[in-house]
C-alpha cells in the first residue's frame, strides 16, 4: 500500500526534528616562541636531529573547546617551557612524565632539549589524546618518534601502563619510574590533589642517584596560577597534603604574565603570577 501525502507528514523525521546544532569551534594554533637567550649548546644533538637545538618556536594546536580546559595555552605552561629551556640539566638523557598535558608544551620542550623519554598524558578523551598526538608529530622529527609516547590516563588510577612505556637504561635496566614529573596548572582542581600525589608517588623513580652519578634527585615540578584569588588557600592545600605525605616542597619560580582572563574577579596581581614549585621525596638515612 502506498503512503498517502497526509501520512508522509507523520514520518519520524517530521515528528522529531531538531534545530541545527552550531558547529564545534575549530582547533586553534598557538605559537610558543623560544627565548633564545636560554639556548644552550649541546654536544649531543637532542632527538638525533642536527637542527634540534636551534629550534626557535613550538606550534601548539589546541582543541576548539573542551570541558577540561584543554582549549587554552595557560600562562603556567609558558612559564614552565621557559624554565625547562633554561635548565636542561634537570632532564637531559632522563625520563619525563607530564600529567594533564593539554597541548603538551612543557613536555615537548623537554623532548626537544634531549630528554631520553617523554610521556605526555591527559584524560582519556579521544579529542584530547589525538590532539596531543598531532602536536608530537608537528614538532618532533619522525626519527625520534619513539622518544615520545601519548597515553590517556586518569590521575590516581594504576600507573603501570605509564611505567611500562619507559625504556631500560644502563642505570636502571628495569625501569621503575620517571626522573621528572611535570604538573602544569593542575592544582586548581582541588578534589584531585590526593589523586595527583598518589600518581606522583607511584611513578617517580625510587632510585636516588648517588653523588658520583651527577644526576638530580627524582623531582616533581608544579607550576600554577591562582586563577581564583579567593580560593588561593585551597590551591595551596596541595602542598600541605604533599608535606603530610613526606614530600619536601620549595617554591623556586615566580613569573609575571598578563592575566588569562582580564575581566575575572580578584586581584589582578594574583591572577598574573605563575608560581613554580619543586617537590622531592624526603628520605631517611639508615
Residue 198, H or E segment: helix 193-203
Residue 75 lies in a domain: yes
User: Does the annotation list 70 as a binding residue?
Assistant: no
As a whole number of Å, the CA-based R_g of the chain is 22
In a domain, 271, yes or no: yes
For residue 88, tell me if it sits in a domain.
yes
Is position 100 annotated in a ligand binding site? yes
| Torsion sign over Cα 139, 142, 147, 153 | positive
Q: Which domain holds residue 75?
A: 27-281
In b/e form, how buried is each residue of 120-146, taking b as 16+ CB within 10 angstroms? bbbbeeebbbebbebbbeebbeeebee
**What would the pLDDT profile of 193-241 be if each residue is shown by its tens digit?**
999 999 999 999 986 555 556 678 999 999 999 999 999 999 999 999 9
Neighbours of 151 (CB within 10 A): 17
Q: Is 192 inside any structural domain? A: yes
* CATH number for 63: 3.40.50.150
286 part of a folded domain: no
Q: Of 9-23, 62-76, 111-125, 228-242, which range is least confident?
A: 9-23
pLDDT more than 70, % of the chain: 77
Q: Total structural domains in the chain?
A: 1
pLDDT over 70 at 8, yes or no = no
Q: What pLDDT does 209 receive?
A: 57
Q: What is the pTM of this model?
A: 0.85
**What pLDDT score was predicted for residue 66?**
57
Residue 69 counted as an annotated binding residue: no
**Beta carbons of 122 and 128 less than 8 angstroms apart:** yes
Known binding residue 255? Answer is no
74 labeled part of a ligand binding site: yes
Asked whether residue 1 is domain-assigned, the answer is no
Nearest to 62 by CA among 117, 112, 135: 135
- Helix, strand counts (H, E) of the chain: 9, 9
pLDDT level of residue 269 (50, 70, 90 thresholds): very high
Q: What is the pLDDT of residue 247?
A: 98
Residue 13 maps to a domain: no
93's torsion region: left (phi>0), alpha (psi -120 to 50) or beta? left
Residue 5 belongs to some domain of the structure: no
> For the segment 233-259, what is each residue's pLDDT rounded down to a tens digit?
999 999 999 999 999 999 999 999 999
Amino acid at each position: 500500500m502506498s503512503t498517502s501525502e497526509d501520512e508522509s507528514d507523520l514520518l519520524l523525521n517530521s515528528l522529531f526534528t531538531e534545530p541545527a546544532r552550531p558547529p564545534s569551534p575549530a582547533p586553534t594554533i598557538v605559537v610558543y616562541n623560544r627565548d633564545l637567550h636560554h639556548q644552550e649548546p649541546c654536544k649531543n644533538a637532542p632527538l638525533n636531529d642536527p637542527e634540534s637545538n636551534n629550534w626557535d618556536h613550538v606550534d601548539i594546536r589546541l582543541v576548539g573547546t573542551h570541558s577540561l580546559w584543554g582549549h587554552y595555552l595557560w600562562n603556567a605552561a609558558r612559564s614552565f617551557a621557559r624554565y625547562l629551556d633554561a635548565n636542561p640539566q634537570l632532564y637531559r638523557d632522563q625520563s619525563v612524565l607530564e600529567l594533564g598535558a593539554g597541548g603538551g608544551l612543557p613536555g615537548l620542550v623537554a623532548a626537544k632539549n634531549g630528554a631520553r623519554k617523554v610521556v605526555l598524558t591527559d584524560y582519556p578523551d579521544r579529542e584530547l589524546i589525538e590532539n596531543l598526538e598531532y602536536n608530537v608529530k608537528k614538532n618532533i622529527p619522525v626519527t625520534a618518534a619513539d622518544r615520545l609516547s601519548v597515553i590517556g590516563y586518569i590521575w590516581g588510577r594504576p600507573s603501570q601502563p605509564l611505567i611500562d612505556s619507559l625504556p631500560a637504561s644502563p642505570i636502571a635496566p628495569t625501569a621503575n619510574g620517571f626522573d621528572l614529573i611535570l604538573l602544569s596548572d593542575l592544582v586548581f582542581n582541588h578534589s584531585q590533589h590526593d589523586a595527583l600525589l598518589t600518581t606522583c608517588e607511584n611513578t617517580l623513580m625510587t632510585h636516588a642517584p648517588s653523588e658520583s652519578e651527577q644526576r638530580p634527585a627524582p623531582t616533581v615540578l608544579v607550576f600554577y596560577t591562582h586563577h581564583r584569588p579567593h580560593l588561593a588557600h585551597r590551591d595551596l592545600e596541595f602542598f600541605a597534603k604533599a608535606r603530610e605525605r613526606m614530600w619536601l616542597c620549595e617554591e623556586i619560580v615566580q613569573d609575571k604574565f598578563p592575566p588569562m582572563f582580564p575581566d575575572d574577579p580578584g586581584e589582578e596581581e594574583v591572577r598574573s603570577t605563575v608560581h613554580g614549585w619543586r617537590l622531592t621525596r624526603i628520605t631517611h638515612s639508615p
